[in-house]
Chains A and B, each alone.
Chain A
Amino acid sequence: MFNPEIFFQALVNGLLMGTVYGIAAVGLSLIWGVLGVVNLAHGSFIILSAYLTYWFFVYTGLPPLSTVPLSIVLGFAAGYLLYKAVGQKVVSLDPSTSVLFFFGLSLLLSNTILNLWGPDVRGIPWLIQSFQIAEIRVSLARLITLATTILCFISLYILIQRTYIGKAIRAVVINRVGAAAVGIDVHSIFAVSMGIGIGVTFFSGTMIAMVNPFTPASGEGYLMYSFASVVLGGVGNIIGTLLAGILMGLVESFIGVYFSQSISPAAAFIILVLVILVRYRGAK
């Protein structure tokens, strides 16, 4: 039996969460597209940022939204410094070996988080109210998250499309050697892209902390969604990745309503495998 109320409720929830998944995946997509390395520590970066937001909230009592600039700056610094420290070596590695490097980083980060904050579920009790439009309930915190995410994405889009650095980043995505040949300093573009990528990832972590509870292990699920979004939307294509992320949110929401919440990561994985099989067969 079809119930339009439940259907539209699932649709709205899916769109609200999907946008957050989308912005999370954009960070992964950017790093993958520009540097050609797969950041397997992506989920750990998201959760690290979520815990930092939580910390900030507990110690200052300020609304978590005010953490956003700090989170982006911290993320940028982390990414930039990571590239400056080891990036050049990592990029030169065989792609499969660099995956293992990021796995090591992910182990390091997620176990550091586990040691600092313990294994308990944490969440930020902030704006638990919701309001109703024509039988559909919308959580206020999620709506604010949506607005902030759209604002962040538009700024990122302008940065990529309208500035010199953005132009250089797009050039490196299309052809690394060609970009170097016309005088673009590829390594500084790599460092900046890594910074922007991790910065966006940290931003998404703050957004996730505002609407979802989290544990040190919840990075895995977000990593899976992000992978699926990136391969679906196109590596390095930020609009495609965002749209694919929204689709993942819808898939999660509808599967949660019509089947069972516990199998939705498996659904994301099935989409991922199908897309890889169709699009990336034989790709290196």
Chain B
Amino acid sequence: MAQNRQPLKIGVLGYLLVFGLAVVPLLTGSPASMAYAWSFLQMLALVLSLNLITGFTGYVNFGHIAFYGVGAYAVAYLTTTTRIDPYLFIPFAAIVPAAIAYAIGRPLLSIRGPYFAITTLGLGEAVRVIIVNIPQFNYSEGLPIAAYFRYNVFNSYIAMYITVVALFLTTLLLRRTRYGAMLEAIREDEDLAESMGVNTRKAKLAAYVLSAAAAGVIGGLTAITHVYAHPGFFSINLNVSVLASLLMGGGGTLLGPLVGASIFYFIADALLIRFPYLHLVIFGAVVMMITLAMPRGLSFILYRYPKISQRIADV
């Protein structure tokens, strides 16, 4: 979609602004504002990680949250068995989901369109059912890890901050490199991309594994911050929230996840406070309206005004 790829435009500026603002809670040191900012950064990180597969290749993944949950359980399980600092196990939170994604990715990514969406929806549920039935993972009670390390709000904030920055750089790189263009070609027309010499299987699989690893890391960090890994991590509602934010902002772009996550985070928060019982009803209606009104996302509105978009757009 983006014809001109010039450096430092509105997308990059938006992220730099967010990274600047996100330092403020660290300086003030107030735990409440840090917790609030942490939740936003987590949402942004999840949207950016889903963007790698759903945004760039157009494969709508309803099972993304399964990797987030697996990452959380990987960290919590290793911490409870070895009783040492959980941050040491963050690499495993990336490796385990990535290995699973690599194993199932080849057959899974040969399914397209609605079939892919349905299969991943079932897959997410299946992973949850499997985890809940494993005795080592304490069935539906989950694994609390508070006893094994000293919880520090600064550490968990900084870790999430670094994750978001890393994901931002990855997305920026994909927007600038040949590999990113390959993924975009798959999204626009997979058969055509293949006939032009793109190794679509390899490209899709790499994007899928990368997004699974990122989701795993976010899950592991969330488990540390919540000092608990439990079946609630496999929440289909969270998956849809992330997906809806991505589509609302605009998939496969740099600006899209930021716009989507910000709007979604503050809307969902406001809804939950105002309408504690009806917020999911309203959220359902919002999702329906977004898909009808802006099927390609908010950030594509910029392209309706070519004069402006040529100067500032880096969506």
Name A residues whose Cβ lies closer than 8 Å to a Cβ of B.
37-38, 40, 86, 89-90, 93-101, 103-109, 111-112, 115, 220, 224, 227, 231, 262-263, 265-266, 269, 272-273, 276-277, 280-284
Contacts and interface: CB of A to CB of B under 8 A. Distances in A.
Contacts of B306: none
A100 B281 contact: no
Nearest to B104: A273
B267 to A, nearest CB: 14
Contacts of B243: 100
B114 A107 contact: no
A168 B74 CA distance: 54
A273 B122 contact: yes
Q: Please indicate which of the listed interface residues B60, B247, B285 has the most CB atoms of chain A within 10 Å of its own CB.
A: B60
Interface in B122-136: 122-123, 125-126, 129, 133
A86 to B, nearest CB: 6
Contacts of A224: 122, 125
Nearest to B125: A269
Given A105-B288, A111-B278, A269 B122 contact: yes
B284 A115 contact: no
Contacts of A280: 111, 115
B39 interface: no
A284 B278 CA distance: 36
A98 B247 CA distance: 12
Given A90-B292, A107-B240, A227-B122, 5 more contacts: A38-B117, A96-B60, A101-B287, A104-B288, A277-B107
B114 A99 contact: yes
Given A269-B122, A272-B122, A96 B278 contact: no
A272 B119 contact: yes
B37 interface: no
B118 A227 contact: yes
Q: Please indicate which of the listed interface residues A38, A103, A108, A272 has the most CB atoms of chain B within 10 Å of its own CB.
A: A103
B176 interface: no
Q: Please indicate which of the listed interface residues B237, B278, B291 has the most CB atoms of chain A within 10 Å of its own CB.
A: B291
A262 to B, nearest CB: 8
A108 B288 contact: yes
Contacts of B116: 96
A93 B295 contact: yes
Given A269-B126, A282-B110, A99 B288 contact: no
A276 B287 CA distance: 27
B264 to A, nearest CB: 13
B58 interface: yes
Contacts of B113: 95-96, 283-284
B285 A104 contact: yes
A283 B295 CA distance: 22
A276 B283 contact: no
Interface string B167-179: 0000000000000
B115 A107 contact: no
A47 to B, nearest CB: 15
Contact of A38 (B59, B114, B290): B114
B286 A104 contact: yes
B122 A101 contact: no
B114 A95 contact: yes
Contacts of A283: 111-113, 115
Contacts of A269: 122-123, 125-126
B284 A276 contact: no
B119 A276 contact: yes
A115 B123 CA distance: 29
Nearest to A90: B292
Contact of A97 (B133, B247, B278): B247
Contact of B58 (A96, A104, A109, A220): A96
A103 B283 CA distance: 11
A176 B277 CA distance: 43
Nearest to B130: A266
25 contacts: A37-B114, A38-B117, A96-B60, A96-B114, A97-B291, A100-B243, A100-B287, A101-B292, A103-B240, A103-B287, A104-B284, A107-B283, A108-B285, A109-B284, A111-B284, A227-B118, A263-B129, A265-B125, A266-B126, A269-B126, A272-B118, A273-B123, A277-B110, A277-B111, A281-B111
